[in-house]
Structure 1
Amino acid sequence: MGDGALSVREKSSTARVVPPARPRKLAKVPFVELADGRLQGVVSSGSDIGRVYVSSVEAGTYAFACSTNNNRPCGGARGWFCNHIRALVLEAVLQYGVERVTRYLKVEVGGEAPDGDDVTHAMTATRPVNGDGSAAAQVFSRFLRHLAYLEFEPTTAPLPEMQWFPTTRAVA
């Protein structure tokens, strides 16, 4: 490849994605990520199809936040993890695996085969506090951008908005 030829991967607009640890259903938690020192994502409302919650748990402190996409606080996240945060943790374990989630969040989980419930229990045993929720807009914006890519037809052509990424090729 030293002659200036690009590999197939370098020509493609797609990146290699790590497959989920186990298949998961996207209806309840359509977006989950380990980013910015938090487990964060978007969780569908159980009662209103037009409402979603932006939930997060901070690594190490387990400070949590949950609010609607309109920045209204979740009624269930008052001193304890609400059902949205519990669903987020469970889906993160399905997506990334329990080892990666516990390592990222700095959670000590005992037992032979821990699962998402064990991770949630270990965090709530430390009495986490309500966080400030300042990242909600950022997380929701990433979710919307993620959804926009679903509208594109599959292609290997470059995407204009991705052109700012640096190239490994020397420019003459």
Structure 2
Amino acid sequence: MNDVKPPWEEHSAVRVVPPTRPRKLAKAPFVELADGRLQGVVSSGSDIERVYVSSITAREHAFSCSTNNNRPCGGARGSLCKHLQTLVDEAIVQYGLDQVARYLHVELGEGAQSGWDLTHAMHPRHEPAPAATVFSRFLRHLSYLELPATTAPVAEFAWFPAAAAVR
């Protein structure tokens, strides 16, 4: 039996996968595959002060889209709205089409290349979901941008095993 582990298994830090291409953060400033959903924050196309919290669950493809004030999106009634399509498109830029499809458990047809192909392979249904958790995560990420530049450890990250290696 070979007990030699790959080098990445010898570290306590998780590799960060770089985006497949640079994303347009003005369109979708926050996109993640987490909690069994593709979820994120998408900017409004008509109001600079409004954002939408959008999500699609893995397997069932239940979707939700509402403003940060929990007002439902007018376009997300019986089908995916433009905010959800933007979320899918930006997730594909961030993670790649294959990874997003695997995460959402979508069987892509031969030659699938875009977010349109992915969303048309799903059988989505509307199911309202609370936006607070996703929006709070987005605000937490934004707060890190306000921290002064430093090489010292950030107290909130002290519980990460990799934080001990940062000196």
Q: TM-score range by the shorter chain?
A: 0.7 to 0.9
* Structure 2 segments unaligned to the other structure (5+ residues): 1-10
SS in structure 2 at match of 1:39: strand
Q: Which position in structure 1 is the counterpart of 2:155?
A: 160
Q: Which residue number corresponds to residue 131 of structure 1?
A: 127
Mapping of residues 51-90 of structure 1, within 5 Å: 51-90=50-89
> What whole-Å deviation, never above 9, does each CA across 1:26-85 have from its counterpart, x for those lacking one?
101000000000000000000100000000000011000000000000000001000000
Alpha-carbon RMSD? 2.2
The Cα of 1:117 is off from its aligned counterpart by 1.4
The answer to whether the 8 A contact 2:28-2:41 is kept is yes
**Structure 1 length-normalised TM:** 0.82
Q: Which moved more, 1:20-29 or 1:38-47?
A: 20-29
Matched AA of 1:81? L
SS in 2 for 1:103: helix
The answer to which of 136-145 and 16-25 deviates more is: 16-25
Hey, what does 2:32 align to over in structure 1? 33
Shift of 1:163: 2.2
Instruction: For 2:91 and 2:110, locate their aligned partners in 1 and report how far apart those are by CA, in whole Å.
Output: 19
Deviations 1:100-135 (A, max 9, x none): 000000001112252211111111xx2x2111312x
Return 5+ residue gaps in structure 1 as ranges.
1-8
Partner SS for 2:66: strand
Secondary structure of 1:66's counterpart equals strand
Structure 2 counterpart SS, 1:94:
helix
Alpha-carbon distance, 1:165 to partner? 3.7
Contact 2:112–2:118 (8 Å) recurs in 1 = no
CA distance in 1, matches of 2:85, 2:162: 40
1:58, 1:84 → 2: CA distance? 15
Aligned CA distance change for structure 1 residues 50 and 122 (closer, same or farther; 3 Å): same
TM-fit CA distance, 1:89: 0.2
Using the TM superposition, give the Cα deviation of residue 15 of structure 1 relative to its aligned residue in structure 2, in angstroms.
7.1
Partner of 1:42: 41
Give TM-score, length-normalised by structure 2: 0.85
Count the aligned residue pairs.
Answer: 154
Partner SS, residue 148 of structure 2: coil
- The aligned residue for residue 146 of structure 2 is 151
